[in-house]
A and B are shown apart, each in its own frame.
Chain A
């Protein structure tokens, strides 16, 4: 067992599709919260295989897409004006800032480096003691432990030239915010499996109760997604609202306590602005006072004004599932992955980019 190919088996995919078709009797709107799931649904052509009754709504679960413009501007400012070594995951590079993207900053000679892991940024800091190294620490709960661990490693090694520009968002408050919006009509959620691998599943019980929606913790391979959708549809058709775990091979109900300890050591919960959506209370992580020396926001003086968003981009409505990407007037015209107007067109996990790539193939 390799845990990949078996979960892409076309025969099993077909069986799940048949069973979903057999089960569904009326239209349902289901939101998959995580951009990784959106990407997999689109890439594997699953949206076309599902019966027309099932409408998948793509949620705000792409951390790249919801990182505020202001933070991109800060990263660009650090790279260009402060001359730091700015390290980042690859998908942040083309996200448009109000002044420029990190990719444009790099083209102008700034030292911007694409990394696979925040732990590599700590190594770069150790090798360049005369330079400031900043890691653009973007992510959901899944990525928070690795980003926190980089701070702990830097602290342990006594490094004074390492800090993170934290842009962390949390899933459950976002689900609540989506449900509180009255334009939104969502009847069930697929919860993001990798987020729950860290946090466990307990924080979803209150959401099931309060909003009377089934929530199924779901993985990312085709068979995972279809099984998650089938479990959801079975509940919807039976008029039930429960929390179920499709992704039990990875998600233990209690999550990963070690990872949560590491998060708790470095981060504390804070209010957070989501690009295109606005501020959601208690929906982000900030660096704790004890680790202030590793927080780029505190370390560097960054007198930047908040710039307005591009007025034509309707990313907020797309992220809440009110509009589909192709309903945006700019989609595929002024806004393409090569020249994105808004963040959801940048990351392959963003709903606009996923739709764009699909419409091209």
Chain B
């Protein structure tokens, strides 16, 4: 039940005189509604993490890249240490 999955904001509409922002969020081919009340900065095209109908975080692409570069990065650090030890 703690599942939270990333989806892309397709469109945003405001309800109750702009008090509540709701989005249509695409998870692959499935589109669901999610409240954007907790991510006021989110805009169309952003990926948001949605949990039980509420977006709780905007996914940061730059930070995501770090998981792919982490191994190369620690490899370089290890090399650096080896070199300085020589």
Measured between beta carbons, the chain A residues less than 8 angstroms from B56 are 142, 145, 194, 197-198, 256, 259
Determine if B6 and A227 form an interchain contact, defined as CB atoms under 8 angstroms apart. no
Asked if A117 meets B38 with Cβ closer than 8 Å, knowing A63-B1, A256-B57, the reply is no
Determine if A119 and B2 form an interchain contact, defined as CB atoms under 8 angstroms apart. no
Measured between beta carbons, the chain A residues less than 8 angstroms from B68 are 6, 12
Say which residue of A3, A36, A91, A194 sits within 8 Å of B47 (CB atoms): A3
A248 at the interface (CB under 8 A from B): yes
Within 8 A of A (CB), among B44-63: 47, 49, 51-54, 56-57, 59-61, 63
Provide the main secondary structure of the chain A interface: helix
Measured between beta carbons, the chain B residues less than 8 angstroms from A146 are 35, 51-54
A118 at the interface (CB under 8 A from B): yes
Say which residue of B16, B38, B63, B71 sits within 8 Å of A249 (CB atoms): B63
Say which residue of A118, A194, A246, A259 sits within 8 Å of B2 (CB atoms): A194
CB of B83 to closest CB in A, whole Å: 19
CB of B69 to closest CB in A, whole Å: 11
Determine if A140 and B54 form an interchain contact, defined as CB atoms under 8 angstroms apart. no
CB of A71 to closest CB in B, whole Å: 15
Measured between beta carbons, the chain B residues less than 8 angstroms from A347 are 1
Asked if A249 meets B60 with Cβ closer than 8 Å, knowing A116-B52, A223-B67, A258-B39, the reply is yes
Determine if A149 and B54 form an interchain contact, defined as CB atoms under 8 angstroms apart. yes
Determine if B4 and A91 form an interchain contact, defined as CB atoms under 8 angstroms apart. no
A324 CA to B62 CA in the complex, in Å?
39
Per the CB 8 Å criterion, the residue count for chain A at the interface is 54
A248 CA to B63 CA in the complex, in Å?
6
Determine if B53 and A7 form an interchain contact, defined as CB atoms under 8 angstroms apart. no
Residue of B nearest to A255 (CB): B57
In the complex, per-residue mask of A240-269: 1 if CB is within 8 Å of any chain B CB, else 0: 000000101111100010110010000000
A61 CA to B61 CA in the complex, in Å?
28
Determine if A91 and B1 form an interchain contact, defined as CB atoms under 8 angstroms apart. yes
CB of A101 to closest CB in B, whole Å: 16
A108 CA to B73 CA in the complex, in Å?
60
A16 CA to B68 CA in the complex, in Å?
10
Residues of A near any B CB (own CB < 8 A)? 1-4, 6-7, 12, 15-16, 19, 34-36, 61, 63-64, 89-91, 116-120, 138-140, 142-143, 145-146, 149, 153, 156, 192, 194, 197-198, 223-224, 227, 234, 246, 248-252, 256, 258-259, 262, 347, 349
Apart from A3-B6, A142-B2, A250-B59, 4 more pairs, CB < 8 Å: A117-B53, A194-B4, A249-B63, A258-B39
Q: What are 28 inter-chain pairs, A to B, with CB distance below 8 A?
A: A2-B8, A3-B47, A4-B5, A12-B68, A16-B71, A34-B2, A36-B2, A36-B3, A90-B1, A116-B53, A139-B1, A139-B2, A142-B51, A143-B51, A146-B35, A149-B38, A156-B16, A194-B51, A198-B56, A223-B67, A248-B63, A249-B61, A250-B49, A256-B38, A256-B39, A258-B38, A258-B39, A262-B37
